Structure 1
Amino acid sequence: MEVDFSKIEYIAFDADDTLWVNETYFREAEEAFASLLEGYETKNKIDQELFKKEMDNLALYGYGVKGFMLSMIESAMEISNGRVSLEVLDKIIGIGKKMINHPVELLDGVEEVLKTLSPKYHVMVVTKGDLLDQERKLEKSGLAQYFHHVEVLSEKKETNYSNLLEHLRIPAEKFLMIGNSLKSDVLPIVNIGAQAIHIPFHTTWQHEMVQGDHASDTYLSLDSIRGVLKYL
């Protein structure tokens, strides 16, 4: 794709799996959760039931580790027909706390890119999830100094982005979003007239997968975050 970023003044980065590792820890937590409940169901069934419970709870709990932890507890009670022990429930809480307290692992090239771009553009974080958790990760990351603004959204749909740009008085044609999710970081952005760069992460949450073909001539796709420096 031929791109023209000459009008771009504002660059927003997704956080999880764009700036730092995130989804890998959720997959590890799911494995640990399935092991705790292996006496009640098959691993495949446990994975399915947990994902279903997460989807049912999104409107209540939103995204993030805390909502995931509550979904694990509810799933454990349902899968075991209420027979799950307090010891197992305590271990499930421990899985969640381990995720929250996990060191932040920056993805390769992230700080180099931010250091290069922050003097030339208004650089932002636009992510979704639990506010406290995302603020904690940003502080742990050591990257806060590079951002002019941080926004944690409940969802990343066209309306959310349009409202954000209107609130910050940013014209869509001057805005660029960089992220790993086609569903959350790319397609809604191009649909409101802004620009996007897709940098896939090796693991994608099922909820973030998109079906069908999507025209890649409306956004730029790169293998690595370092690649953005060729264009900006």
Structure 2
Amino acid sequence: MQLHQKIKTIAFDADDTLWVNEPYFQEAEQAFTQLLKEYASSETLSQALYQTEVKNLPLYGFGIKGFILCMIETAQQISSNRVSPMVINQIIALGHDLLQRPIELLEGVQPTLEALHGKYKLILATKGDLLDQERKIARSNLASYFHHIEIMSDKQTTDYQQLLQRLACKPEEFFMVGNSMKSDILPVLALDAHAGYLPYHVTWSHEQHDSLPQHTQFIALQKMTDLLEIL
């Protein structure tokens, strides 16, 4: 049986799959290192910020608000609590700017969703801060394409298992498309569902994975419109 005959539900990641996200975080991080340059090098500051983010993931989860708190915590740590209130205000302003960035859809997203809509049950499966993700979805003007929108606190195999149960969808009928091997691909393959990896040119360190999986349900994509050729 061909793939398009098996699949009934297609789920899409949002950040850096449907629209630009990580480059904005990297710009904010560069601005952050400039604010703290009197205390440490850019490399040292970036490493310290990343360590703080990973440490705090169980507390804050994924998203801009946690990123703001981690920048403030890192600034205090690196400066031995000597950083000025003015710099703290500037860090908060960086976060506010991130929260208000316009949505920039990636190439091929709208025509692909338009072509698949009505033929498959389309799902938006993203993770992060609830309010921020809801805001981005509204600004994207893509919500009408999706049968169901799921904003997850994390994307582990158990999270996808619960999603499939809510959708009454069998793993062999489910196809996940995303740019993160760790969040969008490997947990889905662990359920023997289908996964299409659509790499983006920048990826947060925590989401990076070195090798492609050797799995019969795995598909490597070059661009979003490749979906129209395989489905």
In structure 1, stretches of 5+ residues that fail to align are none
Which residue matches 1:82?
Answer: 81
Which residue matches 2:123?
Answer: 124
Does the C-alpha gap of structure 1 residues 3 and 225 become closer, same or farther in structure 2, counting only changes over 3 Å?
farther
Which residue matches 2:189?
Answer: 190
- In structure 1, distance between residues paired with 2:194 and 2:2: 9
In structure 2, stretches of 5+ residues that fail to align are none
Aligned-residue offset at 1:216: 5.8
Give 3-state SS (helix, strand or coil) of 1:134's partner: helix
Letter in 2 for 1:37: L
Aligned sequence identity (%) = 47
- In structure 2, distance between residues paired with 1:205 and 1:5: 32
Does the C-alpha gap of structure 1 residues 55 and 65 become closer, same or farther in structure 2, counting only changes over 3 Å?
same
Which residue matches 1:64?
Answer: 63
Compute the TM-score of the two structures, normalised by the length of structure 1.
0.96
Compute the TM-score of the two structures, normalised by the length of structure 2.
0.97
Give 3-state SS (helix, strand or coil) of 1:176's partner: strand
Which residue matches 1:150?
Answer: 149
Letter in 2 for 1:86: P
Instruction: State yes or no: 1:175 paired with 2:183.
Output: no
Letter in 2 for 1:73: I
Letter in 2 for 1:16: D
Which residue matches 2:229?
Answer: 230
Aligned-residue offset at 1:5: 3.2
Give 3-state SS (helix, strand or coil) of 2:5's partner: coil
Q: Is 2:11–2:176's contact at 8 Å kept on the other side of the alignment?
A: yes
Does the C-alpha gap of structure 1 residues 180 and 3 become closer, same or farther in structure 2, counting only changes over 3 Å?
farther
Which residue matches 1:104?
Answer: 103
Letter in 1 for 2:61: G
Query: How many residues in Structure 1 have an aligned counterpart in Structure 2?
Result: 231
Letter in 2 for 1:140: R
State the superposition RMSD in angstroms: 1.3
- In structure 1, distance between residues paired with 2:211 and 2:108: 31
Letter in 1 for 2:15: D
Q: Is 2:103–2:139's contact at 8 Å kept on the other side of the alignment?
A: yes
